[in-house]
Structure 1
Amino acid sequence: MHQSGEQRLAGLCQVTEHLFLSNGRAANDKAVISRFNITCIINATQNITNTSTAEVEYVHIPVTDSPSSPLSDFFDEVADKIQLVGEQCGRTLVHCNAGVSRSATLCLVYLMKYHGITLLEAHKKVKSCRPIIRPNSGFWKQLIQYERKLRGCATVTMITSPVGEIPDIYEEETKDMLPL
């Protein structure tokens, strides 16, 4: 989906008709929440910054942005919630502090589970609307394991690089940035 300047400025990206991704600042901006008709906020941080209201349901997923955090414990719960909100004509905003790792990971899971696309396709879709996404290596391992569970195979693999284990798609991104 094409992002309007207003959405980019708000730190908000629209992933699907009813799924949005942002940083913590945008998720706590009542004007942004109202403008985009958000009815559910999923906060993937350790901090509780919001509480449910009559207009907006609030779900807290208490995880740190650490490769050892068991974010996969929440994959199905979050994906199912996003789908349910969408079926009820609502809109979900998933956020973490920066909108880069935890929240992006949860959006990738939703796309794989409910849109039937591969991890590679899900990453391309989310990255096209929010170019700064970059799940940490531990979350990538969990995403790859989840894709294997869903599809029986994986479209992304972890490789060794000078900075440690990274998903192979980061290697391609790095090559694209190198001078010829």
Structure 2
Amino acid sequence: MGLILADLPAIKTVWMLSAAAVPLSVRRRPAAARLVPTPTGCSRNARNILFSRARARKKRAHMTTPNFSGRLLHGPFAVYVGDKEFARDRTRINRLNVRYIVNCTPTLSSGGVANFFEKDRALEYLRLPMRDANTESVLAHLPAAIDFFERARIRADGAVLIHCNEGKSRSCAVALGYVIISHGRALDEALEMLRGARPQAEPKEAFLAQLATLTPAVRDGVDVSRACKRAAESGSDEASRQIGRR
């Protein structure tokens, strides 16, 4: 028999009372509100939020943390300044056609950075055993570095990478010295070029003080490379004095 319309309100009331009697923990949530557990023990919605935040943090870190090395010199002869992460990244080395690598750290046993691909005949290394200390003589290492750069430039078969540990001080100081001597730039001009290519460059003040003596010597036509070689047997202060007097 069909239901009488007059009985519908009573039936609805009974249904509502029955539903109210069911415990809240047993009631079925709407599909849109249900949280599906994941193997990690947290809800899928919560996990998505965590992943979203992690991606945002990673993106911010990528944008604000200088992890990539800059190209200091352009043209057929390219010079890059970087850190140990660049030096160990063979994919990037190949992509940028880096064939010559200047390692501005002591030997590995003395706390320096390894020549990661030293056995590879396609790469040529020069180690400048520089300490990240104010007493280190940058000028004493420049002659070997410049000879290495010039050999690479003449061969014209690949780019040069200059690196230290973090790519902030020692490698940057050597790069500045090369630009000043070989390109006749003043220290402030060379420093502007360097920071344009690698904003995180922070050469020690002691290194900059040594490099500042190169500018007048280059302007006056002094054979700076020869003066550096003579000064290499002296200390950092004596090296600066010999060039500054000329």
Cα offsets for 1:83-126 (capped at 9, x unmatched) = 22022112110001111111011111111111111111110011
The structure whose residues are more often strand, as a share, is: 1
Alignment of 1:10-159 (within 5 A): 11-17=68-74, 18-46=78-106, 47-50=112-115, 51-89=118-156, 90-152=158-220
Structure 1, unaligned runs of 5 or more: 153-180
The structure whose residues are more often helix, as a share, is: 2
Cα distance in structure 2, aligned partners of 1:52 and 1:141? 37
Identity across the alignment (%) = 25
Cα distance in structure 1, aligned partners of 2:218 and 2:182? 11
> 2:142 is matched by which residue type in structure 1?
F
Are the aligned partners of 2:185 and 2:215 in contact in 1 as well (CA < 8 Å)? no
Structure 2, unaligned runs of 5 or more: 1-61, 107-111, 221-246
Cα offsets for 1:149-178 (capped at 9, x unmatched) = 3224xxxxxxxxxxxxxxxxxxxxxxxxxx
Match of 1:156 in 2: none
Structure 1 pair 75–11 and aligned structure 2 pair: CA distance change class (3 A): same
> 1:128 is matched by which residue type in structure 2?
G
Task: Tell me the CA shift for residue 71 of structure 1.
Answer: 1.9
SS of 1:58's equivalent?
Answer: strand
User: TM-score with structure 2 length normalisation?
Assistant: 0.56
> 2:147 is matched by which residue type in structure 1?
D
Structure 1 pair 55–9 and aligned structure 2 pair: CA distance change class (3 A): farther
Cα distance in structure 1, aligned partners of 2:133 and 2:119? 27
- The structure with the larger Rg is 2
Cα distance in structure 2, aligned partners of 1:52 and 1:148? 41
The CA RMSD over aligned residues, in Å, is: 2.1
Deviates more, 1:67-76 or 1:93-102: 67-76
Cα distance in structure 1, aligned partners of 2:93 and 2:138? 25
Structure 1 pair 27–146 and aligned structure 2 pair: CA distance change class (3 A): same
Cα offsets for 1:61-85 (capped at 9, x unmatched) = 1111111011210112212311220
SS of 2:200's equivalent?
Answer: coil
User: TM-score with structure 1 length normalisation?
Assistant: 0.75
Task: Tell me the CA shift for residue 52 of structure 1.
Answer: 4.8
